[in-house]
Structure 1
Amino acid sequence: MTGWSGARERRVRTGGVELCVAELGDPGRPTVVLVHGYPDSKEVWSEVARRLSGRFHVVAYDVRGHGRSTAPRPLRGGFTLEKLTDDFLAVVDAVSPDRPVHLVGHDWGSVQAWEFVTVERAAGRIASFTSISGPSLDHFGHWIGRRVKRPTPRRVGQLLGQGARSWYVYLLHTPVLPELAWRGPLGTAWPRILERLEKAPADGYPTSSLPSDAAHGAWLYRDNVRRRLRSPRTDAYAHAPVQLITPLDDRFLSQRLSEDLEQWAPRLTRRTLPAGHWVPRNRPDQLATWISDFVSSVEGGRADVPAAGRHADRFGGQLVLVTGAGSGIGRATALAFAEAGARVLAVDRNAEAAASAAAEARRRGAAAAWAETADVSDEQAMEKLAERVTTEHGVVDVLVNNAGIGLGGSFFDTTTDDWRTVLDVNLWGVIHGCRLFGGRMAERGQGGHIVNVASAAAFQPSRALPAYGTSKAAVLMLSECLRAELAGRGIGVSAVCPGFVDTAITSTARFAGVDAGEERRLRKRAARLYGLRGYPPEKVAAAILRAVVRDEAVVPVTPEARTAYALSRWMPGALRRIARVKPPV
C-alpha cells in the first residue's frame, strides 16, 4: 500500500459494493475525509494525508469501482450521485459516528462532494468542505443556463472556452472507446503524461489498478453529467462552510465557473494557486496547509472570517520570508503579506525591529508571524537561518530578498572596504537567500516565487552611485538568469526596482570620501529630499505582491523608475547624459 504505510484499513459494505477505507492519525481528533477524482484512487492523497495526519484523523477511501473497492454490477446506473452519497454516508458512519467530518474533494471527488454538502440527508454530518478542481453539476447546469438565456459576447466566450476545456467529457460518453484506450496504450502512458504535463511525481502513483479504475470511472460521467446539466437541482445550497481552491493553470476547468458561487455557498473562502489540475500531487504542502488552517478555523468557530486583505485568496496560509523586514519597504511588504493572511517570517539584523514587525503582522491578520535575527551578508548565519526555518516552519513559498544598504560618493572616493560592505549586503545577501531558500523550493518541486528588491539604479547610471548602482545592476541580472533557470520548475523570479521611496535607508546610508560631520549633513539632505518626494513604501509592497501574483519579471516602481527603465531600453544615450550630471551638494 505505497504512500499509506502504517495506515489502518477497514472494509465498508454499502449498496452491493465493498469500499476500501484507509485511516491515519488519532481517531479522537477531528476527522478529515479525502475523496479522490478521476481516474485516480485514494493513492492520489497519500502526500496530503501524511502531512495532515499529525493533527487530524485522516480518512480516504477508494470510490466504488476504483482501487481496492469493488465495482457495482451492472456498471450502468451504478455510479449515480445518489449512490455515491450512500457510500459517503456509510464511510462516515463507520469512521466518525458521533462527530461531523471535514470533507475534501478533488476533481470528481469534489463533484460528488458538492452533492454530499448540498443534500438534506447529509446535513449535520459535514462540518466543512474544501473543493478542488471539481464544480457541482447543479451549479454548472445553472451557470450554462444563465449564459444560454442571455448570450452576451462575454458569456458566449465563456461557454465556448469551457466547452473546449471539456473535450474529454464528450469522449468519455462514447461507448467502449474509453475502456479500450485505458486498458491499452493510454493506461500505460498515463504516469508519464502526468509527470510531464502536470509535474506530478510518479513515485508510487498511479497504482497498478489505473486501467480498471479509469474504465469503471467513465460511468461517473455517463450516469450523471447529461442528466444534471439538463435538469439541475434548484436547492443545491451548501449547508457547511466551503473553501474553494482554484488552480490557476487548470487545463480542464475555467476559473469563470465559480463566478457566482457565493449564491450557493454563502460561507465561502476562496484560494488560488499557480498550479495545474493535480494539486494533491504537485502541491501537497500548500494544499495540506490550507486544509489544516480551514479545518482548524471551523473547529474554532472562525470559518466565516477569512483574511480580508487584497490577494488573500492567493497568499492565505502561504509561508513568506522577508529580509530587512524591520523597517521601510521590508516592513511594509511583511505587513502587506500579513493582511493577505500569509504566515510571515520577518528577518532583520535588528532583533527589536524584527520583533516589532512580526507583532504588527499578527495584528494585521497574518495566519502566524515570527521574528528572526540574521545578517544577510553572513553566509553561515544565513545557512543556520535556512535550516531553522525549514525545520520549524517548512519550505518558504515566497522569498523577498529586500535587505540592503546605501552608499554614495564617487568611484575614486569609494574604498575597497566600502565596495566589500555594499556588495556583501546588496548582492551576496541576495545570493545567499536565493541559494539557501530558493534551492529548497526547487528541491521540493512544488513551485514558489522569489522577489529580489533591486533599484532604479540598476538601469540608471549615476556618477554619484557607482558601488550601489553596480550592486543593484548585479541583482537585476542575477534575477533574470535565475528566472530562466527556474522557469521549468514552476518558480517565478521578479526583480522589483523602486525609485525614490521615503524610507529610513537615507538615515543609515554612507557617503564615501567625507568626514563624519559632512556625512550627517548629506544624510539629512537626502532624507529631506526623499521626504518631499513622499512616495510611501506601502506602494512598493503592493507592487511586490502584484509581481508575485502576475509573475512579472522586472517591475520598476515610481514614475521616475518607469521612465528610466523605458529610456534604458529605447534611449540609453539619454540616460548616459543624465548620469554625467553632478548631484547638488
Structure 2
Amino acid sequence: MRRRWRADLRGPADRRQASSGGTVKVRSGEVELAVRVRGTDGPTVVLVHGYPDTHTVWDRVTALLEKDFRVVTYDVRGMGESTPPSTEDGYRLEHLAQDLFTVIDEVSPDAPVHVVGHDWGSIQAWEAVTTPGARIATFTSISGPCLDHMAHWSRKGLSIARLRQLARSWYIGAFHLPVLAPLFWRLYLGPRWGGVLRRLEGVRAEPAPTITRDAVRGISLYRANIRPVMRSPRHRLAPMPVQVIQPTRDRYIRTEPLDLERWVPTLRRRRIAAGHWAPLSHPAPLARMISEFIADSTPPRELVVITGGGSGIGRATAVAFARTGARVVVSDVDFAAAEETADMVDGHAYEVDVRAEEAVRAWARQVADEHGVPDVVVNNAGIGHSGSFLSTSTEQWQRVLDVNLWGVVHGCRAFGELMVERGEGGHIVNLSSAAAYLPSKILSAYATSKAAVFMLSDCLRAELAPHAIGVSAICPGLVNTNITATTTFSGVSAEEQSRKQERASRIYARRGFGPEGVAAEIVRAVRRNRPVVPVTAEAKAARLASRVTPGLLRTFAKLDLG
C-alpha cells in the first residue's frame, strides 16, 4: 500500500486525487498523519501548520501556489484528521520532526523538498532542518523560531527586547497550568475561536470543527518542549537557505532580535505587514515570497530610490547606501549629474522632474518593473529661496512649493502605493529642514514648504504604520552643498542675487558641515526608524528651542540676517 501511494503521488492519478481534495493516511511511529497533495508536477512544497490550526490554515496560500508547485499539507499529530500519540511525551520535537521526514519520504522519495512552517509548524520544522542529512532544499519560517536559538538568545542577559518577548509569551505559562488551561479552551476559547481571530487579528475564517479538541491536545506541545529546551539548548545549524518572514503586527513572537546569522549561513529576512495568522489574512504576499525564495534563495540587496540624486545630499546619500550593499536608483532634472552619481555607485539614473505628478508616477512604475519595489525612498529634490513674504512673487512661491512640497507629495504617493501593495513594509525619507521650525522673515516661502514636509511626514507616518512603512523627516541646518549657488532671492537684481549667492556659499563653507554627515543620519534614521532627525548642532538647538522656548525663536526671526 505504501509503495502504491508513492507511485500515485508521482503520476496523473495523484493529480486527479489532489484536485478532488483526497486525503491519504501515512503512518509515523504510533500515529497516522492525514496528508493531502495538490498542484502541478513542479517542485514539491510542504506546508506545516501551527497551533491550534489544521492544514486548512494554508488553503488560501495553497490555492496560489498550486499553479506552479506540487503542494503538500498535512495535519500534524493530534490535530485535524491525524491521530494523537498515547502520551504527552509523544509531542516532543524529535517526534514532530520525524513526522515531517516521513511525509517527505512519502511524497518525494527521490528529491529534496521546500518546507514552509507557521507558528508551531515552523518550530517543529526548525527541528527537522537542523537535523543533519535532512532532504530539505529551502526552509521558510513564519512566526515560529527554533526553540534552541531562542534559548541561547534569552541567556545573554536582560534587555528591552528580551523583556518585551517575555511579556508577549505570557500564554506559555498559562498553558502549563494543569487544569485551568484545558478547561478554558473547552468552556470559553474553543467555541469562540472564530470571533477571537476576527477581533485580535482581523481574520475572517471558520475554525475547524475539531478546534476545541485539537487545542486541548496541542497544549502538550508547550508542556513537552518548552522547559526541556530552554534548560538545555543545543547548537542547531541549518545548512540550507532559510527565509524568515516576520509579520510586523505579530502579538506573540518577534524574530528580529535573534542572532540567526550565527546558525544560518544563508539567511534571508523579510517582513510582511500582517498579524500572527498571516497565512489566513495575507496569502498573496506570502505565496509570492515563498515562490521568489524557491526560485532564488540568494539574499536580495536593499533597493534605495533617491530624488535629486545628482549632487549634494542626494549624491552623498546614494554613496552612503551603496556602501551598505544596497542597489541605488537616482533621479534628477540634470540627467548628466544623475548619471555621474549612478556611475559612482554602480546604480541607475533617470531624468525626472518631481514637479510633474504623472512623470513621477510613470517613473515609479518603471522602477518597479525594472528593479522591483524599493525598500527605501528618499525624497530629497529641493531648491532654495530667500526673500520676505511681500517681496516674493506668486510665481516664486509656486516654484518653491512645486519642488519642495509637491515633489515630496508625488514621491510619497507614487512609491508609497507600491510599498503598501507589496505588503513588506519599507521606509520613506523626506528632506525637510531646520527652517521648518525656525521662523525667519526672509525665508517665508522656503520655510513654509519645509514645514509642510515636516507635518506631512508625521501624518504619513501615522497612516503607513499599519503597513510597516516608516517615515522620517530629516532636518538639516547649514550644510555645504551647491544649493546655495542656485538659491534665488526676491526683489533683487541679477547682480545682487549673484552677490548674495556667493555670500551664502561662503557662510555655508565656513560652517564646514558636508552632505556626507546628512547622508549618514539618513541611513541611521532608516535603520532605527526615527521620525524626526535634526542634523547639525544648530538644527538640534533650534529643534529644542522650538519645543521649550518658541517665543525666543519668534524674537530671533525679526532680526535682519539678509
Task: Give the AA of the match of 1:134.
Answer: G
Matches for 1:432-447 after TM superposition, within 5 Å: 432-439=410-417, 441=419, 447=425
2:424–2:468 Cα contact (<8 Å) kept? yes
Task: Give the AA of the match of 1:418.
Answer: Q
Does the alignment pair 1:64 with 2:63?
A: no
Does the alignment pair 1:557 with 2:535?
A: yes
Between stretches 237-246 and 475-484, larger displacement belongs to: 237-246
2:285–2:422 Cα contact (<8 Å) kept? no
Q: What is the aligned residue count?
A: 542
Correspondence for 2:267 = 269
SS in 2 for 1:419: helix
Indicate how the Cα distance of structure 1 residues 170 and 568 shifts in structure 2: closer, same or farther if over 3 A, else same: closer
Q: CA deviation at 1:454?
A: 0.8
Q: CA deviation at 1:38?
A: 2.0
2:385–2:443 Cα contact (<8 Å) kept? yes
SS in 2 for 1:412: coil
2:338–2:349 Cα contact (<8 Å) kept? yes
Q: CA deviation at 1:336?
A: 3.9
SS in 2 for 1:20: strand
Does the alignment pair 1:349 with 2:349?
A: no
Correspondence for 2:408 = 430
Report the TM-score, using the length of structure 1 for normalisation: 0.77
1:247–1:273 Cα contact (<8 Å) kept? yes
Correspondence for 1:258 = 258
Instruction: Give distance in 2, aligned partners of 1:242 and 1:347.
Output: 35
Indicate how the Cα distance of structure 1 residues 519 and 295 shifts in structure 2: closer, same or farther if over 3 A, else same: farther
Equivalent of 1:13 in 12, 21, 26: 26
1:104–1:129 Cα contact (<8 Å) kept? yes
Does the alignment pair 1:501 with 2:483?
A: no
2:271–2:425 Cα contact (<8 Å) kept? no
Does the alignment pair 1:91 with 2:103?
A: yes
Q: CA deviation at 1:358?
A: 4.8
Rg larger for: 2
Instruction: Give distance in 1, aligned partners of 2:176 and 2:541.
Output: 56
Correspondence for 1:38 = 51
Gaps of 5+ in 2: 1-17
Correspondence for 1:151 = none
Q: CA deviation at 1:97?
A: 3.9
Correspondence for 2:8 = none
2:303–2:374 Cα contact (<8 Å) kept? yes
Task: Give the AA of the match of 1:186.
Answer: L
Structural RMSD (CA): 4.1
Does the alignment pair 1:108 with 2:92?
A: no
Task: Give the AA of the match of 1:36.
Answer: H
> Percent same amino acid among aligned pairs?
49
Q: CA deviation at 1:205?
A: 7.1
Between stretches 474-483 and 73-82, larger displacement belongs to: 73-82
1:34–1:59 Cα contact (<8 Å) kept? yes
Report the TM-score, using the length of structure 2 for normalisation: 0.80
1:75–1:219 Cα contact (<8 Å) kept? no
Correspondence for 1:134 = 144
1:322–1:346 Cα contact (<8 Å) kept? yes
Instruction: Give distance in 1, aligned partners of 2:276 and 2:219.
Output: 18
Correspondence for 1:328 = 312
Correspondence for 1:238 = 238
Instruction: Give distance in 2, aligned partners of 1:9 and 1:269.
Output: 35
Correspondence for 1:462 = 440
Equivalent of 2:518 in 536, 540, 553: 540
Q: CA deviation at 1:396?
A: 5.1
1:75–1:216 Cα contact (<8 Å) kept? no
2:148–2:235 Cα contact (<8 Å) kept? no
Gaps of 5+ in 1: 148-153, 307-315, 364-368
Does the alignment pair 1:222 with 2:223?
A: yes
Instruction: Give distance in 1, aligned partners of 2:551 and 2:184.
Output: 62
Instruction: Give distance in 2, aligned partners of 1:105 and 1:550.
Output: 29
Between stretches 279-288 and 374-383, larger displacement belongs to: 279-288
2:439–2:553 Cα contact (<8 Å) kept? yes
Between stretches 568-577 and 203-212, larger displacement belongs to: 203-212
Instruction: Give distance in 2, aligned partners of 1:502 and 1:569.
Output: 27
Matches for 1:241-390 after TM superposition, within 5 Å: 241-244=241-244, 250-253=250-253, 258-259=258-259, 265=263, 267=265, 269=267, 271=269, 273=271, 277-278=276-277, 280=279, 298=297, 320-342=304-326, 344-358=328-342, 360-361=344-345, 363=346, 371-388=349-366
Indicate how the Cα distance of structure 1 residues 141 and 381 shifts in structure 2: closer, same or farther if over 3 A, else same: closer
Correspondence for 2:203 = 202
